[in-house]
Amino acid sequence: MKRTDRAEQVYKILNRIYKKVPIPLKHTNKFELLIAVLLSAQCTDERVNKVTPVLFKKANTSLKMIKVPKSTIYKIIRPCGLAPQKSDAIFKLSRILVKKFRGKVPESFEDLERLPGVGHKTASVVVSQGFGVPAFPVDTHIHRLAQRWGLTNGKSVKTTETDLKKLFPSEKWNKLHLQIIFYGREFCSAWGCNGTVCKICKT
């Protein structure tokens, strides 16, 4: 089967199961989204969603966050792991946003990727979910599923992102990224599917 035909099959199944998909990380503004995505690195969304209400009660904008001591940020986000690096990144990026962007989260990939603690995947999530800009954030989770489903044979998340962007039109990227995440968690986990269990793998 051609990869394009396989992609069409996968999309039909995902779209049938997930007509609407919520954004997993709870937030009320773009700054909160940026911080939540940063905290989600090597951490579950569930845990992030338990930590962020406490953090955002103290500061939910960069203007407010610059007044919070880094030690306080560290104590709050510690359950998310990598707390020294993440608290330092939040502390520094908040000051950069205030100094260079009038306290607002920038929309461009380039500006976002220059912020401390913000890599390509984090920037992709922020522009797609925060600004509605077409992007296809690919982490190891999506990378593994794309390989398993025959959508890529790429050895890296970067190659997989390129392959997926070629297979699906840009207007589908933002929703499809979330559909893949939800499907993987529910039906095709690393341990729960050996490639013959879920509907996509069996098709």
In tens, the pLDDT along 90-117 reads: 999 999 999 999 999 999 999 999 999 9
Indicate if the pLDDT at residue 197 is higher than 90: no
Q: What's the Cα-to-Cα distance from 141 to each of 76, 135, 146, 156, rounded to whole Å?
A: 26, 16, 9, 12
Distance CA 175, CA 136 (A): 9
Pick the catalytic residue: 139, 175, 199, 202?
139
CA angle 169, 175, 181 (to 5 degrees): 115
Mean per-residue pLDDT, 10-34: 96
Pick the catalytic residue: 50, 64, 100, 121?
121
111 is catalytic: no
State the pLDDT at residue 57: 98
State the pLDDT at residue 102: 97
Mean residue pLDDT across the chain: 95
Indicate if the pLDDT at residue 134 is higher than 90: yes
Distance CA 110, CA 159 (A): 19
State the pLDDT at residue 45: 95
Structure tokens at 108: 């461009």
121 is catalytic: yes
pTM of this prediction? 0.94
Helix (H, G, I), strand (E, B) or coil at 51: helix
| Main-chain phi, psi angles of 37, to 5 degrees | -65, -40
Place of tokens 């960069």: 62
Structure tokens at 166: 């070629």
State the pLDDT at residue 196: 72
Indicate if the pLDDT at residue 58 is higher than 90: yes
